[in-house]
Amino acid sequence: MVASEIQSIKGDYLISILEVTMVPAGGCLFASLVLSVVVSAATSYNNIGTYPPAHLNEVGTSEPEPDFGDVIKNVTVALGREAVLSCIVDNLGDYKVGWLRTDTQTILSLHKKVVTHNTRISVTHSEPRTWNLHIRAVKEEDRGCYMCQINTSTMKKTVGCVDVHVPPNIIDEETSGDILVRDGDSVSLVCTARGYPEPKILWRREDNEKIMLRQGRGNKSKVDEVEGRFLNLTRVRRKQMGAYRCIAMNEVPPAVMKRIIVNVSFEPTIHVPNQLVATPLGKDLRLSCHVEAFPKPITFWRINNDIMIINGPKYKVEESSWTYHTNMSLLIRNVEKADIGIYTCVARNSISQAEGQIRTYEIDPPVPATHRPTTDRGPPGGNVFSNALDHSAKPSGLHKNHVDEEYHQHKMTEDTSQISINKGKRKDLHGLTLDLDSARNPAHRPALSGAGVRVSATAGLLPLCLLLRVSAHWF
């Protein structure tokens, strides 16, 4: 390293370096510490006075020698941010402060002048005691230690380090992509990420389902996540099919993620919810089949194992799919006699084909139910006519009560005129009132003759006449 110009001014001890040139020597970068050169030149200077200056002599001075007020605090910054190292110097006086990188001995600045060609480096003197080294847009190569020096006769120095944290980055070239495996095969997924500190890698399912891990026969477990570069899936089944996330994270946000889809190929299988379906003529009928297959199958319907059904005025064919599931639906409009038969749902992919059958048959249309009002009380006569009354409309309670009253008044008059009562015995006339059960069922009639009461033939027929009258009125 050559100093093109060094100026020494007696008494002021002002030294400036106007230009510094790096010269390679022996294949290595020969770097000479500028501050040491300056000190040596200043020490050898002896013209019109002596060095050190008169106010800072060997015997002792009124001004103490400069020293560091504190150690340089290490800093940690994320990639692309700015790093600032602060060097605190007490009693600097006319001495100078310089910065250099310790590992390469590269001189960065001398006092307030930047001597490196790195445009990201700058120095500030914010306070009388503080000298700051700024590194903007920090890169990974800026990670290392930096030295703050004071150009005293015996050089004084202190060191501070910069740690550059790099957010994680997934290396696509070294990471698995979407993959297709056959049902029952095993697969190993790998995820490579770089960053500083070294990223931690987690595997999770995108649908938040648990990851199935198998170790040996019959030894399996379900976990929410797996840590590490590799995710080993043994004897993969269709339920393990889906998207897996490789997540890389360290102390520097944000975490990064790559989505890897695992597809499992297998032959179609068909599940028919209803294999026998009844329908009346003139109504619409919907049939359905559920298919599981990957790759996604081609699906269609046939009638009577012969004619392929397509969309039209008569039929509407629909399907919906997700992952390896497919729902097939067939709508038959205005079912006719010719539509009764066997319907076949077919699913076919590159591996195989599967079929499911639905048999339809005709039934009579349902008879619409009619609503009939009901009451708590029936007409006089109780349960004899209950079955008949269930099939007809019943009158309101007010009208029924009027008929009961008329019936009882008339019956009381007739019974009193036709019945003779034995002397010495009291009979309740109301106890002789015949209800409808007694009128229609002779077994339930009271034995009047045994009680000493005689009823004429006219009196016996009267309740039946009244019954017919009341029944006619109710119906």
For every residue of 353-397, DSSP letters joined together read EEEEEEEEEE-PPPPPPPP----S--STTTTTTHHHHTTSPPPPH
| pLDDT (0 to 100) of residue 125 | 87
CA–CA dist 337, 280 (Å, integer): 9
Under 8 Å between Cβ of 460 and 467: no
Residue of 160 and 15 predicted with greater confidence: 160
Per the CB < 8 A criterion, the answer to whether 445 and 434 are in contact is yes
> Residue 464: which pLDDT band, with cuts at 50, 70 and 90?
low
Give the relative orientation of helices 397-418 and 457-474 as an angle to the nearest 10 degrees: 170
With H, G, I as helix, E, B as strand and everything else as coil, classify residue 60: coil
Average pLDDT of the segment spanning 136-140:
95
Report the distance separating Cα 96 and Cα 101, nearest Å: 17
pLDDT band at 94, cuts 50/70/90?
Answer: confident
Q: How far apart are CA 355 and CA 137, in angstroms?
A: 65
Check residue 375 and give its pLDDT. Answer: 52
Positive or negative, the Cα torsion across 223, 224, 229, 231? positive
Greater pLDDT, 371 or 460: 371
Rg over alpha carbons for the chain, rounded to the nearest Å, is: 54
Average pLDDT of span 192-199? 95
Q: Which residue did the predictor score with more confidence, 371 or 258?
A: 258
- Lowest average pLDDT, out of 56-60, 143-147, 220-224, 229-233, goes to 56-60
**% of the chain surpassing 90 pLDDT:** 56
Q: In this model, does residue 385 exceed pLDDT 60?
A: no
pLDDT of residue 365: 85
Can you tell me the distance from the alpha carbon of 152 to that of 79, in angstroms, rounded to the nearest whole number? 36
Confidence (pLDDT) at 410: 44
Count CA within 13 A, CB hemisphere, residue 349. Answer: 16
151, 115, 147, 114: which is closest to 38 by C-alpha? 151
What's the pLDDT score for residue 367? 80
Higher pLDDT, 280 or 452: 280
Residue 108 to residue 99: CA distance in whole angstroms: 5
Average pLDDT for 432-460: 43
Q: What is the pLDDT of residue 449?
A: 40
pLDDT category of residue 374 using cuts at 50, 70 and 90: low
State the Cα–Cα distance between residues 108 and 98, nearest whole angstrom.
8
pLDDT at position 216, please?
72
Q: Which two tokens stand for residue 160?
A: 């501070």
Mean pLDDT of 126-149: 93
Instruction: Determine the average pLDDT of the residues in 267-296.
Output: 95
Exposed / middle / buried, residue 281 (Cβ in 10 Å: 0-12, 13-18, 19+)? middle
- Residue 267 CA, distance from chain mean position: 30
pLDDT at residue 228 in the model = 95
Predicted confidence at residue 37, as pLDDT, reads: 38
DSSP H stretches of helix in 190-280: none
Average pLDDT over residues 384-392: 37
The percentage of residues in the chain with a pLDDT greater than 70, rounded to a whole number, is 65
416's enclosing H/E stretch is helix 397-418
Stretch 65-90: mean pLDDT: 94
Euclidean distance between CA atoms 345 and 305, whole angstroms: 10
- 194: which strand partners? 169
Average pLDDT estimate for 391-404? 40
The predicted pLDDT at position 196 comes to 94
- Average of pLDDT values for 409-435? 40
Residues 166/252, Cβ–Cβ less than 8 Å: yes
**Is residue 194 within 8 Å of 168, Cβ to Cβ?**
yes
Average pLDDT over residues 128-137: 93
Both tokens assigned to 453:
């009461």
153 versus 84: which is more confidently predicted? 84
Token digits of residue 214? 């198998």
Reply yes or no on whether the pLDDT at 291 is more than 50. yes
Residue type, 206: E
Q: Which of 23-32, 213-222, 422-431 has the highest mean pLDDT?
A: 213-222
Regarding pTM above 0.75, the answer is no
Higher pLDDT, 401 or 291: 291
Largest CA distance in the chain: 175
Can you tell me the mean pLDDT for 275-303? 95
pLDDT at residue 74 is higher than 90: yes
Q: How many CB atoms lie within 10 A of CB 294?
A: 22
Specify the 3-state DSSP secondary structure of 173.
helix
Per the DSSP assignment, residues forming a β-bridge with 211 are 223
